[in-house]
Amino acid sequence: MIEINGLTKTFITKNLKKETVIDNVSLKPESGVYGLLGPNGSGKTTMLRCIMGMYNYKGSISIDSKDLKRHPELVKRIGYLPQQFDMFKQLTLFEMMSYFAALKGIDKNERDEVVLKSLESVNLEEKKNSKVKALSGGMKRRAGIAQALLGNPSLILLDEPTTGLDVEERLRFKNIINNISKEKTIILSTHIIEDVEALCDKIVVVRKGKILADADRKSIAENAEGKVYEFEFDKQPSGLEIGKIYERENKRYVKVFSSTKLDAEPIEPTVEDGYLCYIKGI
């Protein structure tokens, strides 16, 4: 449904220098959940904003083979949850959702039904008459997802949707995504590896505006095959990249990464291990 070809975005810094934030990126996501995974500052948010027509850019972005530059009205068919979702605090949740439905061009006669359906999908129908300012942080993020679902879009962009959520709300979010992901393309931008491990069919690893990998979870993990070792803490060889430090059977262990074979048996890598090897060039 969406196809990105040669996407490049350059900003002018305060020092009047050009900074390329997205560098010749090409993607063709299909149905399913795609994890756009990378460190903060890697260009993930900029990429989503380009898709939404918020920035000028070089290259092309097409929806159903129609170029978004020539058909900007197609943006209304995309569900979008920005990283900072500014709410209308003095409105009720139903009023706010109705406003967003109007912006998306949803027919007035159908608007109430569409709003209620979106609220039901995120379990917020009972809060429809509550003021937005009275909602908890987790409820506000769910409200953000609900507005992204208005009009039943086939493409949904979610920018760091679980940031600041507690464990219960993160689990609720994952259940919502699992329920709505059928026959939709969801691009989930995040730096939280646990989210992509739990939700994503494919993972796009991004660093400094470039795509380092576009593969399924198994293939991402295999990038660290033979490069991950476990040692007791403080007994690991020096000069190696250190990963997780954890405890097992009252002993502390540390994961280390090495592109050359060590005098130890490598352990089975995880998605996180493969991702770190891409990001750190191991």
**Helix, strand or coil for residue 155?**
strand
d(CA 144, CA 148): 6
Q: Which residue has the tokens 């990001």?
A: 279
Beta carbons of 207 and 278 less than 8 angstroms apart: yes
Cα-Cα end-to-end distance for the chain: 34
How do residues 127-180 score in pLDDT, each as one tens digit? 999 999 999 888 888 899 999 999 889 899 999 988 778 888 888 888 888 888
Question: How many beta carbons lie within 10 A of that of residue 181, not counting itself?
Answer: 18
How do residues 67-117 score in pLDDT, each as one tens digit? 999 999 999 889 999 988 877 889 999 999 999 999 988 999 999 999 999
The domains found in the chain, sorted by start residue, are 2-208 (3.40.50.300), 222-280 (no CATH)
Residue 145's nearest CA partner among 126, 134, 161 is 161
Residue 4's nearest CA partner among 62, 52, 88, 55 is 62
Higher per-residue pLDDT: 166 or 126: 126
Q: Which residue has the tokens 């008459």?
A: 129
What per-residue confidence (pLDDT) applies to 124?
93
